[in-house]
Amino acid sequence: MSLFEKYAPLQARLDVVKKVGTDPFGVKFDDILSPTRGRIGNREIVLAGTNNYLGLTFDEDCMAAAKKAIDDHGTGTTGSRIANGTYEEHTDLEKAIADHMGMPSCIVFSTGYQTNLAAISGLAGDKDVIFMDADAHACIIDGTRLTGASTIRFRHNNPEDLDKRLRRQGEIEGGHALVVIEGMYSMFGDIAPIDEFLDVTHKHGGYLFIDEAHSYGVFGPTGCGIAEEQGVLDKVDFISSTFSKSLASIGGFCASIHPEFEITRKVMRPYMFTASPTPSNVSAARAAVDKIKSGGHLRANLKTRAFQLHKGLSELGYDLCADPSPVIAARRPNEAIAAMEWNWLLQNGVYVNLAVPPGTPQSSSLLRISLSAAHSEDDVNQIITKFKDLKEVSPNLMAEMMKSMQAAE
C-alpha cells in the first residue's frame, strides 16, 4: 500500500472537479494588472476573490517603502527574531500597530497563519481551557493543537452557548479560560457580536482572543476592526490579524492590552524558530498602516460596493450566506455544480473563489466573492451581470457536464 493511498478519496474528488475545466485550486495568473484586474492567457479577468480589501497592493507609497527597504537592508533577514532577525523595520511596525490599536504590546510574525499558531500556543498552558467558535479558521484549530490545553467548541457566533459551556466548566483549577473567536468570518462574511462575547467571557474571568484577519482595516472609524466598530476595542485582551489582506503584504501581528504579553516572545515556538519577515514585506505593511488610519474613504467605498453586490445577487435569487460585508458567498447545491459555475465565470472574465468542504462551514459549496475598495460601481455591475448570465446558462452547463463525465467513464 502506497504512503499516499490514504488520499485516494481526495484525489477522486479532485479528478471530478478537473473534468469540469480549469483546476480551481491551481489557478495561475499570467499577469496582475491592478488590484482589480488580472490576465490569464489573452483574457483580462476581473479579480473578485483576492481579499485585497483596501486595494493597497499597487499603492505607490506601499510599493516605494518596499523598494527602499530592499535597497537599505536587502531581501531577507536569514534569522529569527530572537537571533539575528530583528531589524529596525520590525520594531517600528510593532510600535505603529500598537499605537494604532491603543495597546501597549504588539508582536509581528512572518505569516498570518503563524501568528495564531504562535500566539494561541504561547498563551494557553496545560491547565488552561480554550473555548473556540465552531467555525474557527484552520490556523486557530492548529494553534490549539500545539498546546496542552483542553479545547471546547461552542456554537458559531452564539454568546449564549459560550456562557452555558463556561458555566458548565466552572472554576478552572490552576488555569484560565481563553475564548477564541473571529471578527468577520472568511467564508460566509458573517460578523461576530464581539461586545456580547466580551461580556460573557469577562463575567467568567476569561480572556478574549479575536482574529481580525478579514476585518482589520475594513471596519471601525480608524480601521482597527469589528472590536473598534462595536466600541469595545479597549476591552479585548488579544487581537490578531494578517498583513495579507488589508495590509497588502505578508506577515501578521498580535496586539494585547496586557503588557505582560511581551514575555511570550520567549516561549512561542513558531515565533522563536521561524525566520523573521523580510524588510520589504514589513515596510510595505508599515506604509499600509498609515493608509488604514486615514482610509475612511476606502472603507466607505468598500461598504457601498458590498451593499451594491449583495442587493444585486439577492435580487437574482442567489442564496447568500450573510448580511452585506466585504465577503459575499453564494451557496450552491453541491461541489460539482459549484465547480462548473466557477469555471464558467472564469471563462467569462470574473475570478471568484470556489470554496468547498472541509474548508467551509456546514459542508457548504460556495462561490465566494471578496470585494475591494478599488472596485468601481461598474466593476460590481459587471460581476452582477455575469452572475445573471450564469443563472440563465447553468441548467445547460449541468447537462453538458453530465454528458462529458459519462463519456469520460
pLDDT in tens, 215-270: 999 999 999 999 999 999 999 999 999 999 999 999 999 999 999 999 999 999 99
Q: Is 175 strand, coil or helix?
A: coil
Q: What's the length of the chain?
A: 409
pLDDT in tens, 280-324: 999 999 999 999 999 999 999 999 999 999 999 999 999 999 999
Q: Is 116 strand, coil or helix?
A: helix
What does pLDDT average to over the chain? 95
Question: What is the C-alpha to C-alpha distance for residues 401 and 152, in angstroms, rounded to an integer?
Answer: 43
In this model, does residue 172 exceed pLDDT 70? yes
- Kindly state the DSSP code that residue 80 receives in the 8-state scheme: B
Question: What is the C-alpha to C-alpha distance for residues 223 and 286, in angstroms, rounded to an integer?
Answer: 14
pLDDT of residue 119: 98
Q: Delimit the domains of the chain by residue range.
A: 5-54+296-408, 59-293
| E strands present in 1-122 | 31-34, 37-40, 43-47, 105-109
Mean pLDDT for the stretch of residues 180-192: 97
In this model, does residue 387 exceed pLDDT 60? yes
| E strands present in 122-235 | 129-133, 150-154, 177-182, 207-211
> 161 is written with which cell numbers?
452557548
Q: Is 82 strand, coil or helix?
A: coil
Question: What is the C-alpha to C-alpha distance for residues 264 and 346, in angstroms, rounded to an integer?
Answer: 45
Residue 113 pLDDT class (50, 70, 90 cuts): very high
Distances, alpha carbon 75 to alpha carbons 59, 78, 392, in Å: 20, 9, 50
pLDDT in tens, 31-52: 999 999 999 999 999 999 999 9
Locate all alpha helices (DSSP H) within 146-192, ordered by sequence: 159-169
pLDDT of residue 409: 56
Question: What is the C-alpha to C-alpha distance for residues 223 and 216, in angstroms, rounded to an integer?
Answer: 6
pLDDT of residue 406: 56
Amino acid, res. 258: H
pLDDT in tens, 9-35: 999 988 888 877 888 888 999 999 999
pLDDT of residue 394: 81
Q: How much of the chain, in percent, has pLDDT values that exceed 90?
A: 90
Amino acid, res. 71: D
Is 100 in contact with 321 (CB distance < 8 Å)? no
Q: Give the DSSP H/E element, type plus range, for residue 353.
A: strand 353-355
Dihedral of alpha carbons 163, 165, 166, 171, sign: positive
Question: What is the C-alpha to C-alpha distance for residues 366 and 334, in angstroms, rounded to an integer?
Answer: 9
Residue 135 pLDDT class (50, 70, 90 cuts): very high
CATH code reported for the domain at 5-54+296-408: 3.90.1150.10
Residue 237 Ramachandran class (φ > 0 left, ψ -120 to 50 alpha, else beta): alpha
Strand partners, 367: 330, 354
Is 212 in contact with 225 (CB distance < 8 Å)? yes
Q: Give the DSSP H/E element, type plus range, for residue 368.
A: strand 365-370
pLDDT in tens, 80-104: 999 999 999 999 999 999 999 999 9
Architecture of the domain defined by 59-293:
3-Layer(aba) Sandwich (3.40)
